[in-house]
Amino acid sequence: MKPRSAAIFAVALLGLQLPAFADTARSDMALVLAVDVSGSVDDDRFKLQREGIAATLESHDFSAALAGGVNQTIEIAMIEWVEEQRVVLP
C-alpha cells in the first residue's frame, strides 16, 4: 500500500465512531489500525505501511479530527499480524 493510500485509509477510519475501551468517558473515538507484517510483506512494503500511518497521524486532517471532538481525545490501537502472536505494547 502506498503511503498516500495508507493515509487515506487511516483518515477514512477516523469517520468510524467505534466504542472506546480504556477510557470511554473521556475519549471521542477509538481507532484500530490493522497492519499485515506477515511473510508476504517485504521490507519495502512494511516501511510504506509505517510511513503512511505516521504521515496520517502527523497530518492536518488527523489534527482537525482530533480537535473537532468534544474531549479532543482519540484512543489508538495498532494490531500487526504475523505468523506468531505477542503483545508488543499493552
Q: Is the residue at 53 inside a domain?
A: yes
- Confidence class for position 58, pLDDT limits 50, 70, 90: very high
Other residues' Cβ atoms within 10 Å of the Cβ of residue 74: 17
Q: Is the residue at 44 inside a domain?
A: yes
Number of domains the chain is built from: 1
Report the distance separating Cα 14 and Cα 45, nearest Å: 23
pLDDT on residue 73: 86
pLDDT on residue 81: 81
Q: Is the residue at 72 inside a domain?
A: yes
Q: Is the residue at 88 inside a domain?
A: no
Q: Is the residue at 89 inside a domain?
A: no
Q: Is the residue at 71 inside a domain?
A: yes
Question: Among residues 35, 32, 28, which one has the least CA distance to residue 1?
Answer: 35
H or E stretch including 50?
helix 43-57
pLDDT on residue 47: 92
Q: What are phi and psi of 33, to 5 degrees?
A: -105, 120
Q: Which structural domain range is residue 53 located in?
A: 3-81
Give 10-47 pLDDT, tens digit per residue.
555 555 444 444 545 688 888 888 888 888 889 999 89
Question: Locate cell 495498532: which residue?
Answer: 78
Q: Is the residue at 66 inside a domain?
A: yes
pTM of the predicted model as reported, rounded to 2 decimal places: 0.58
Name the average pLDDT for the chain: 77
